[in-house]
């Protein structure tokens, strides 16, 4: 079951054009483009999402 609330990064600023939103559920994370919400979302297993965040935080990406 997915949580209903989408969250925008705290790094996103009001006029930014490069924002994404995400929401988590049981074992997966959904990601969508803030400017094009009607186009749908991508879904990633929780493990892959965690690896992406780890890579970004550690400077690997």
pLDDT by residue (tens digit) across 7-22?
A: 987 777 766 667 889 9
49: Cβ–Cβ under 8 A, 6 or more apart, which residues? 28, 29
Domain count, the chain: 1
Domain enclosing residue 36, as ranges: 20-58
Query: 43 in a domain, yes or no?
Result: yes
Query: 33 in a domain, yes or no?
Result: yes
Query: 1 in a domain, yes or no?
Result: no
| pLDDT reported for residue 29 | 95
Collapsed DSSP state (helix, strand, coil) of residue 39 = helix
Query: 7 in a domain, yes or no?
Result: no
2: Cβ–Cβ under 8 A, 6 or more apart, which residues? 23, 24, 25, 30
What is the reported pTM?
A: 0.74
Query: 26 in a domain, yes or no?
Result: yes
15: Cβ–Cβ under 8 A, 6 or more apart, which residues? none
Torsion angles phi and psi, residue 20, rounded to 5 = -125, 160
| pLDDT reported for residue 20 | 87
Query: 11 in a domain, yes or no?
Result: no
């Amino acid at each position: 079951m997915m949580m209903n609330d989408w969250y925008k990064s705290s790094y996103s600023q009001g006029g930014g054009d490069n924002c994404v939103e995400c929401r988590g559920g049981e074992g997966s994370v959904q990601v969508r483009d803030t400017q094009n919400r009607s186009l749908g979302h991508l879904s990633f297993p929780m493990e892959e999402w965690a690896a992406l965040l780890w890579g970004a935080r550690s400077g690997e990406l």
